[in-house]
Every structure is written in C-alpha cells, then in structure tokens.
Amino acid sequence: MDSAALQKYLLRLFERHDVELDADEDGWLVTDDDFPAIRAEWHEGAAGEPGRLDIDVVLSEERRIEESFAGIGGGEAGCRDALHAFEQNAFHLLLAACWYVTDDRKMRIAAWDIGVRTWDVFIGPFNARGTAADAVTIPAEALAAVEATLKREALTPELHWVRLVHSQVAEGDSRSEASLDNEPWTAGTLALTAVAWPQNSDYSARCFMLLDVRDY
C-alpha cells in the first residue's frame, strides 16, 4: 500500500470517529494546519518475512511518537494486517490523548499520582499474536509491575508514552522490552522480565499506554 492509499485510509479512519484532518502532499494528516499530525509508511518485508508499518505522530517541533507494527502476509494483505494491529493496540489511545476523543470501551482509563501530580493514564489491551496467541493469558502482574515502576519515575509535566513487548518461543527463549518516549526504558524492561509469563508457547504480547498530566 503506497503513501497516498495509507493517507486515505487514515483519513477515513479518523472521520469515522468524528475527527477531521487535513491531508498534505507529503502524506501527513494535520490538525487545523497544526499539531498533532500523523503519517503512516509501509515497508514490504523480504521474502517470507513480515512487513513493517511505521506510524509517526508529531506532537510539537521537538516531540514525536514513533510506533511500528508487523504485518503478516505479502503486499496489501500484510499492510492491512499491520493496520489492524495498529487499530487494536494504539489508535484509540492516540485518539484520546492527542485528539480528545475517548472511547472507554477500547482502553482502561486510570488516574495515577506520580510525584506531586495526578496523571490521566490511557492503557491499551495487552494483545497477543502468534501461533498460540488464543491460548495465552497475560499475567495481571505485568501491568501492575509497570505501574509501580512508572510511579517511581520523575516525569516532566507533558504527554508521555510507553511501549511494552514480551515475546516467547516454545523452546523457552523469551525476551521483554519496554520503551518510554521512544527510548529504551531499562526499569520497565526489568519489571516485565521479572513477571511469570506463560511458557511452552510461541507468541508475542504488546501493550501501549499514554500518560498525560491532569490540568486543574
């Protein structure tokens, strides 16, 4: 799927949620000629490998959310698979935190005290993909451990975003990764690694969340 088709797809996706964005010639969708702006780019995978959908959301001149989603299948089918993963994992959270259109059926919304401030936290589902994904139960302590770790962070009073990923193969090899504002987040990775994840299955699990300081 080329950039023009992706731009049209995103434009219609936002329109279905009553958000009108303006398309520019570089593939971006902008909000009233300003930020936030969003763009999608599809990268076809090598033979037999998944492709990759990159989603960029520009919040300001200095800050940008960067998310990527694997697409299983070749050509347009792979791209649509990645777009589906984007809609499942991140779209509704971005819509809530950046465009202020909130559907609480698509996420969990919490209020956390971090430091001296209260934060609105938008937590997406912890979705599993892979051959055994349907049989995987995500441990409740995964998000609890991340919450406890985040509450020890010194966050600047602005929007922040967290990506959590755990992958497992049946032979027992596993890997956890966490990032905060696009950067590797060592404390979050250690918190995920300490969780008792389901074994003897091939799957990957992913969660996205956004934290926005509450205005008074």
For the chain, the maximum distance between any two Cα atoms, rounded to a whole number of angstroms, is 53
For the segment 32-62, what is each residue's pLDDT rounded down to a tens digit?
Answer: 989 999 999 999 988 878 899 999 999 999 9
Q: Three-state SS for 81? A: helix
Give the side-chain half-sphere CA count within 13 A for 154.
0
Q: Where are the beta strands (DSSP E) in the chain?
A: 22-23, 29-31, 34-43, 51-58, 64-71, 108-114, 117-123, 127-129, 160-168, 174-180, 183-184, 203-213
Q: Is the pLDDT of residue 216 over 60?
A: no
pTM: 0.93
CA gap 20, 137 in Å, rounded = 37
Look at 15 and 74; give whichever has higher pLDDT. 15
Query: Prior bond to 139 cis, omega within 30?
Result: no
Q: Is the pLDDT of residue 172 over 80?
A: no
